[in-house]
Amino acid sequence: MPDKHQNIDLEKERKEILNAFKGLLRVTKDNRNKEETKMIRKAFDVAVEAHKDMRRKSGEPYIYHPIAVAKICAEEMGLGPTAVVCALLHDTVEDTYITLDDIEELFGETPKKVIDGLTKIPEVFDENVSIQAENFRKMILTISDDLRVVLIKLADRLHNMRTLDSMRADKQLKIASETNFLYAPLAHRLGLYSIKSELEDLCLMYMNPQAYQEIESKLKSTKAVRQRFIRRFTHPIKEALQEEGYVFDIKARTKSVASIWRKMKNKEVPFEEVFDLFAIRIILDTPEELEKPDCWRVYSIVTDFYQPNPDRLRDWISTPRANGYESLHTTVMSPQGKWVEVQIRSKRMDNIAEKGLAAHYNYKESKNGDNKFDRWIGEIRDLIDNHSQDAMDFVNEFKLNLFNDEIYVFTPKGELRVLPTGASTLDFAFDIHTDIGLQCIGAKVNNKLVPLSHQLKSGHQIEIITSSKQKPNEEWLKFVTTARAKQKIKAALNDERKKIAEDGREILDRKFKQHNIRFISENISLLENYYNVSTATDLYIRIAKGKVDLAKLRQIKNVGGVLKLEKEKKPKKIRRASDINKRIDKKKDTLIIGDDFNNIDYQFAKCCNPLPGDSVFGFITINDGIKIHRTDCPNAENLMSKMAYRCISARWKAKEVKEHIAKLRIIGIDDIGIVNKITEIVSFQHNVNMRSISFESKDGMFEGKIQVYVLDRYHLEELIEKFELLEGIKRVERWDDLEHETPDDYDEETLS
């Protein structure tokens, strides 16, 4: 915020605000009539007045934000005047004196509904509920009513990410994590690919600035070589297309920084070994009825010059993706020995690819237009109709539906079904009908018997085999990928748990009567602690399954029907989340690593092994105190986005000298004596103690895993530098061991 005494030129600001609004009117000029122009001007006037005393963290007038969001909606999404009006007003109800009734009176019923969907729910008091998860759920619940809600919300998030540099570092991390976890996949699912790419790049810039800057720098330094290659590659194609009389445009699109980083991590290769840094896009100006034959003719021309990879042909023209994406993709070999992806599409298809779902809708006074998203919207409605009360469960289930890779499979009668890549026969069974899923014992895929877990591929024909005696079990959750299947299995298991818990409750009730103990919450809570279970339901289930020795009730003191433990064994350090939350203020407190923290137990997360000097944060687990994670830990994005309310800022105590375990992965060419050279560096040259070492060799390459004791991150970096100087060493990196983390620490369900 600017200093109160700082002189602000209000007249200059007023002119700049008007110029920003004129910029918005310019990008909407082809998409509004006189009446709609009046409505946009009125929305601007109302927003300016409502936000007149508000400023953003950067110090600029707040009104710039709604104008920018409205401009993104119009220019980058192609939405109409109603969406522009709603974008200008999107924060008024939440942050100012304007009410939803005021919106309805001034602008009508539709803007009121959209702005209601965009307005966050009030602060909730149960701190075990993620407010952001509730907000996201509220937004998704409006998808089936008016898709503009989610599109404006994405525009809002995009502008917030573009202006995130004015926020505190911890806020930047939390907002970026949440964006990467929910909003970028949502943009991808809605076909807004350029927005999705920008969101991912901005997230990486804040979550891993070093990686972002390195890749961006390498992209700039290789730009000239890349452009020269593209000119040579496209030259013969251009000439052939011109001879055939096509009207076309050829573009080369470089992969986003985040996409390159993801490929480097997934394939475990350096930047130099990422070959598909760009794709060539051929866009035809052709009538809709000729699109398909023309695209295939262009494919034929391209493959006349360059050899195609038959495994990399993707025909999304004959069978478009669920979000309406249509294009023909092929990967061909260039004369220089490099694979190049070529995308062939019409101008109409390109517009859909850029604007996504928004391109299918004519948003004026009512929703009209060609809706190719009925199947996906149907899935969302199904999820909404059957959603659990827990907001985090809902968000997790919804996120399962966000991924865009799909397979096309068939029923025995030849009916086409679209499922996500990785779907199993059990997913298919639930896609047909819930009852078929619950009674599924196996399937025939192309007439061969397969188990429930069998992974399906495009073109498979599946016949489900059922039995009335079949019941779902916990293992089933590992076999399925779709939100629908997971949700139905969880619901069936919960029903079963309730029945078992009821049996256990009756057993305990009888036992209480036998020993003259009253069935009251005080006694149940005492037994939860005594038998070390987290909830009464878990206690009843364990009793029903015979896993609790109720004979021990005789050993507990009984005073008038109330149980008393004579000596309560209290842990030296507080470890339970409920006790920790009473002791700290997560917004104000900072955990200093090396000092006592309100008698709360804290330890380093085994998944990422933080070292002094690493940027870190604390995460409150269910029963295991606070775990310290690196901010670039593989789990960090999930924890910060899904459960930010359980994160606490942390930093290292100055001048703390203590040895910490660090894990390294070394990859290189298998050579005689390489192990000796590595152990020599550890033992002699660097005065570092080794805890363990293991090596695996395959196809002339080796991978070594070493655990060493170091003082801090800088000490470790010196060791890494020494390793990298060895001949034959290709890569040295910190090794994050995700398998060693306890899933229960992060299980949201155990909090409900």
State the catalytic residues. 94-95
User: Of residues 391 and 182, which shows the higher confidence score?
Assistant: 182
Q: DSSP labels for 339-384?
A: EEEEEEEEHHHHHHHHHGGGGG-EESSSEES----HHHHHHHHHHH
Q: How confident is the model at residue 731 (pLDDT cuts 50, 70, 90)?
A: confident
Most confident of 63-67, 94-98, 143-147, 457-461: 63-67
* Angle of CA points 235, 238, 241, to nearest 5°: 150
Q: Which DSSP letter does residue 123 get?
A: P
pLDDT at 446 over 80: yes
User: Of residues 154 and 147, which shows the higher confidence score?
Assistant: 154
Q: How confident is the model at residue 698 (pLDDT cuts 50, 70, 90)?
A: confident
Q: How confident is the model at residue 216 (pLDDT cuts 50, 70, 90)?
A: very high
pLDDT at 569 over 70: no
Per-residue confidence (pLDDT) for residue 2, from 0 to 100:
45
pLDDT at 597 over 80: yes
pLDDT at 741 over 80: no
Per-residue confidence (pLDDT) for residue 124, from 0 to 100:
42
Per-residue confidence (pLDDT) for residue 273, from 0 to 100:
80
Whether 109 and 117 have beta carbons less than 8 Å apart is answered as no
Most confident of 120-124, 561-565, 576-580: 576-580
Most confident of 51-60, 135-144, 286-295: 286-295
State the average pLDDT for the chain. Answer: 82
Cα distance between residue 153 and residue 138, in whole Å: 12
How large is the angle between the packed helices 81-89 and 109-118, nearest 10 degrees? Answer: 50
pLDDT at 62 over 80: yes
Alpha-carbon distances of 253 from 274, 335, 592, 713, rounded to whole Å: 15, 20, 46, 38
Out of 290-304, 355-369, 394-408, 571-585, pick the least confident: 355-369
- Please tell me whether the overall predicted TM-score, pTM, comes out greater than 0.75 for this model: no
pLDDT, one tens digit per residue, over 347-363 is: 988 888 877 665 554 33
pLDDT, one tens digit per residue, over 300-325 is: 999 999 999 888 888 989 888 766 78
pLDDT at 132 over 80: no
Phi, psi of 554 (to 5 degrees): -65, -30
Q: Give the distance, in angstroms, between the CA of residue 78 and the centroid of all CA atoms in the same chain.
A: 25
All domains of the chain in start order, with CATH: 10-207 (1.10.3210.10), 215-360 (3.30.460.10), 374-472 (3.10.20.30), 491-550 (no CATH), 660-740 (3.30.70.260)
Per-residue confidence (pLDDT) for residue 126, from 0 to 100:
41
pLDDT at 173 over 60: yes
pLDDT at 468 over 80: yes
Per-residue confidence (pLDDT) for residue 686, from 0 to 100:
52
Task: Give the pLDDT mean for 686-703.
Answer: 76
